[in-house]
Amino acid sequence: MERLIAQVKKYPLIAAMSIVVLGTLLGTFFGWAYAYQAAHDITKIRSDDPNDPLDMLPLVVSMYLAIGFFGGAIAGLFTGTIVYILNRKRV
């Protein structure tokens, strides 16, 4: 753990960028997982009526994925900025 802290203090920008990338990837993963679950539930509920079109299903899945991606990116950017500000070298 101390080695990780030393690396963050030595390279704060790389640490901040890594946090942003990890936040974006985690947000995208959770967006995919929630979109899959929502699409599964919608198709299961609407399977009773075969005449009911699922026109909006791709939009619903895309919106859940976008919310996960941008939510993870914003959280990663916020956290990465805090890490960078707290560990940057003072001039």
| Predicted model pTM | 0.81
Question: pLDDT by residue (tens digit) across 23-70?
Answer: 999 999 999 999 999 999 888 887 777 777 778 889 999 999 999 999
Within 8 A by CB and 6+ apart from 57, the residues are 39, 42, 43
